Amino acid sequence: MEEVIEVLNKYKSFALFCHLSPDADALGSMNALRLALKKMDKKVYIYCDGKVPKVLSFLKVQLDTKVSNIAKCDVCIMMDCNSLDRVGKYGQYFDKAQIKVNIDHHQSMNYQFDYEYVNRQSPSTADLVYELIKNLDVKINSDIALNLYAGLASDTGCFQHPGTNQLSHKHAYELINYNFDLRDVNYKMFKEKPSNYLYFYKSVLRNTKSYLNEKLYIIFFNHRAYKRFEHICDNSASFQFLDGIDGNEIRVKIIEKQKGFYTLSFRANKYANVCEIAKKFDGGGHKMASGGKATGNYKELLSKIISVCKEELDKYEK
Ligand SMILES: [Mn+2]
């Protein structure tokens, strides 16, 4: 931590990066650090290969797109992920950075950084960014606090996921003291739904099939369904109503973003390690929540997913 703080203090210009299909933790962490560094009169650019989901517009993230600025920066920081793959089209630019920093809480993908502030037990990257900012000569304001709160509330599933700990609540308590509109943020992240949500639910139920004695659910949205519900699909919380169903352990969400190009997300209920599954599909993440990607024929993909999930579930069969 001291080393990363030294880097943040010492250098003048920074490019921040987060993962594809960004969530509130990725965007909130990045935006909070940007706001803090700006207050220290640093130059900061932020990059994300993907759109800010409509539901997260309240974070007021302004993504940069001009890649020529990246090489001009002293330091590049990868946040809420730790591999070039996860940064998507910006990976090649990150790879050329003079100084590479990682701030993250995911399982390692073995990419070499110069400095790391990583805690794989931390429930969110926002918790880590908050600890860093507290050690910088910056007065935290309501915008910084809002972005950090959104990140930690989102990654803990509003303080419900198993990784949620005392520190999550302590940090939330401290951040709420900065007087952002807590009620509004919670409503937007955990309650508000677009008007076509009923049709989205119907579509999810129609497109969910169960395998392996109900232990595995697979939800598939083809590119037409994705187009229809794009903004809802991009918010992983939209599928949370399928979590925790007794007898089910793994849920795989397959979204065909473009014809033949799929993003995959994996969720576990209690014991399966879906990060191991995601690694077989160019991805990674956490034990209970991971992501990956695939291309090609759907039927082949489906049978590969089923067999990889079976392999993981078999580890726990007596
Ligand atoms: Mn995260």
Residue pLDDT, tens place only, 205-246 = 999 999 999 999 999 999 999 999 998 888 777 898 999 999
Place of tokens 């579509």: 203
Determine the 3-state secondary structure of 180 from DSSP.
coil
Judge if 47 and 182 occupy the same domain: yes
pTM for this structure? 0.86
Query: Using CA atoms, how far apart are residues 164 and 123, in angstroms rounded to an integer?
Result: 6
Ligand 1 centroid – CA 317 distance (Å): 30
> Which residues, 6 or more positions from 292, have their beta carbon under 8 angstroms from its beta carbon?
263, 264, 265, 266, 277, 278, 279, 280, 281, 282, 283, 284
Ligand 1 centroid – CA 237 distance (Å): 13
Query: Using CA atoms, how far apart are residues 145 and 128, in angstroms rounded to an integer?
Result: 13
Ligand 1 centroid – CA 105 distance (Å): 7
pLDDT attached to residue 98: 96
Query: Using CA atoms, how far apart are residues 58 and 150, in angstroms rounded to an integer?
Result: 10
pLDDT tens for 142-160 read: 999 999 999 999 999 999 9
* Residue 27 contacts residue 52 (beta carbons within 8 Å): yes
Ligand 1 centroid – CA 124 distance (Å): 5
pLDDT attached to residue 109: 79
Query: Using CA atoms, how far apart are residues 93 and 70, in angstroms rounded to an integer?
Result: 7
pLDDT attached to residue 249: 98
Ligand 1 centroid – CA 249 distance (Å): 22
Judge if 64 and 118 occupy the same domain: yes
CATH code of residue 43 = 3.90.1640.10
Other CB atoms within 10 A of residue 98 CB: 11
Judge if 17 and 146 occupy the same domain: yes
Structure tokens at 251: 């849920």
Ligand 1 centroid – CA 26 distance (Å): 6
Identify the domain containing residue 67 by its residue range: 2-190
Judge if 254 and 238 occupy the same domain: yes
* Residue 125 contacts residue 29 (beta carbons within 8 Å): yes
Place of tokens 């352990």: 249
Q: How many domains does the chain have?
A: 2
Going by the DSSP 8-state scheme, the letter that residue 85 receives in this structure is G
* Spans in the chain with pLDDT lower than 50: none
Query: Using CA atoms, how far apart are residues 222 and 233, in angstroms rounded to an integer?
Result: 11
Ligand 1 centroid – CA 300 distance (Å): 30
